[in-house]
């Protein structure tokens, strides 16, 4: 296999507990032609000491005494990256030893422009590990961006030229990765999630706190609006809970627009998108709402141009 240079970007802020394990998981990759750019973003704990303890020539250390935030840190590393491909890696996650080898093989074969993967999810509170729930095809991943981000940031490896063209929007601080994928998807770049679980992703209580979720809800709504705009889809088709007659019009309208744009969207994903237009009820209405989305998804899948 051809072995082009890969630039791995690892932003770090107060990551003393886990960054050593993250770095080791990269240095132990079966694919060896890489540079690991680590950006210490003004950490106040022992993160920098851990970083400086490594002497591997493949590590590029960027040490900041000021905290700029992860968005600016990532953009700085994108500017510094010399590789043909860029791989994202958080300082508290763990890469499978075959991660780079597996993803570069797919990218070099020309099967996609941006390659993610399934992952193991490690709950830091309970220490339980579970499998992620993923979609894998380009059509499904790009369609689902209209309702949520189905890509895990730490699993992503893609063409460096694309990252240098778009980079991260510094005005979006809680959904910056989501907005990046939206721009790439709207521009026509192809996505794949591999079924191999190539990352162990840590999840923290703060990520599910009420304050975080409320901020995330607001920013994701703005990203979804922007995505429809970039795709040329009317804003009235923005997925939100609506009454039966309205959602039948707008929900079908969104599904038709997405299926015309992205050929091959699965029945399951069409159902998932249409469900965002429905009210969540238990009891008597549940079978009826389920039947409604099944019928709509099947009809749109069969006759996207009707």
Confirm if 12 and 87 have CB atoms less than 8 A apart: no
Query: For residue 12, which of 86, 105, 77, 100 has the smallest C-alpha distance?
Result: 77
Residue 112 lies in a domain: yes
Q: Which of 8-12, 115-119, 199-203 has the lowest mean pLDDT?
A: 199-203
The helix or strand, by DSSP H or E, that contains position 90, with its residue range, turns out to be: none
What's the angle, vertex CA 191, arms to CA 1 and CA 108, rounded to 5?
15
Comparing 247 with 207, the larger pLDDT belongs to 247
- Residue where a domain stops, chosen among 191, 208, 225: 208
The torsion of the CA quartet 91, 93, 96, 100, rounded to 10 degrees, works out to -50
Confirm if 186 and 230 have CB atoms less than 8 A apart: yes
256-304 residue pLDDT tens: 999 999 999 999 999 999 999 998 766 667 788 899 999 999 999 888 8
Same domain, residue pair 178 and 38: yes
CA distance 37 to 63: 11
DSSP 252: H
133-175 residue pLDDT tens: 889 999 999 999 999 999 999 999 999 999 999 999 988 777 8
CA distance 277 to 270: 12
Same domain, residue pair 278 and 148: no
Total structural domains within the chain:
2
Residue 223 lies in a domain: no
Task: Band the pLDDT of 305: cuts 50, 70, 90.
Answer: confident
- Residue where a domain stops, chosen among 174, 208, 242: 208
Global pTM reads 0.91
Same domain, residue pair 169 and 78: yes
Question: What is the domain extent for residue 251?
Answer: 234-302
Same domain, residue pair 42 and 175: yes
Same domain, residue pair 194 and 244: no
Same domain, residue pair 110 and 160: yes
Confirm if 73 and 176 have CB atoms less than 8 A apart: no
Confirm if 58 and 37 have CB atoms less than 8 A apart: no
């Amino acid at each position: 296999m051809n072995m082009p240079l890969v630039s791995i970007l690892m932003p770090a802020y107060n990551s003393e507990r886990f960054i050593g394990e993250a770095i080791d998981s990269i240095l132990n990759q079966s694919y060896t032609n890489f540079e690991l750019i680590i950006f210490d973003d003004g950490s106040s704990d022992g993160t920098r000491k851990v970083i400086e303890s490594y002497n591997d020539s493949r590590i590029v250390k960027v040490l900041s005494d000021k905290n700029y935030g992860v968005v600016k840190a990532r953009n700085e590393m994108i500017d510094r990256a010399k590789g043909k491909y860029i791989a994202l890696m958080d300082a508290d996650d763990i890469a499978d030893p075959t991660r780079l080898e597996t993803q570069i093989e797919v990218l070099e074969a020309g099967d996609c422009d941006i390659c993610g993967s399934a992952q193991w999810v490690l709950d830091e509170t309970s220490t339980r590990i579970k499998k992620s729930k993923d979609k894998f095809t380009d059509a499904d991943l790009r369609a689902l961006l209209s309702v949520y981000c189905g890509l895990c940031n730490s699993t992503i490896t893609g063409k460096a030229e694309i990252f240098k063209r778009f980079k991260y929007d510094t005005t979006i601080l809680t959904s910056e990765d989501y907005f990046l994928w939206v721009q790439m998807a709207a521009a026509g770049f192809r996505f794949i999630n591999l079924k191999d679980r190539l990352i162990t992703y840590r999840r923290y209580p703060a990520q599910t706190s009420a304050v975080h979720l409320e901020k995330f809800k607001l920013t994701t709504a703005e990203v979804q609006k922007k995505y429809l705009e970039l795709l040329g889809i009317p804003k009235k088709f923005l997925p939100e809970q609506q009454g039966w007659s309205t959602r039948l019009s707008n929900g079908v309208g969104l599904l038709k627009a997405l299926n015309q744009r992205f050929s091959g969207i699965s029945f399951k994903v069409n159902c998932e998108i249409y469900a965002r237009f429905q009210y969540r009820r238990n009891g008597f209405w549940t079978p009826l709402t389920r039947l409604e989305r099944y019928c709509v998804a099947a009809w749109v899948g069969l006759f996207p141009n009707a």
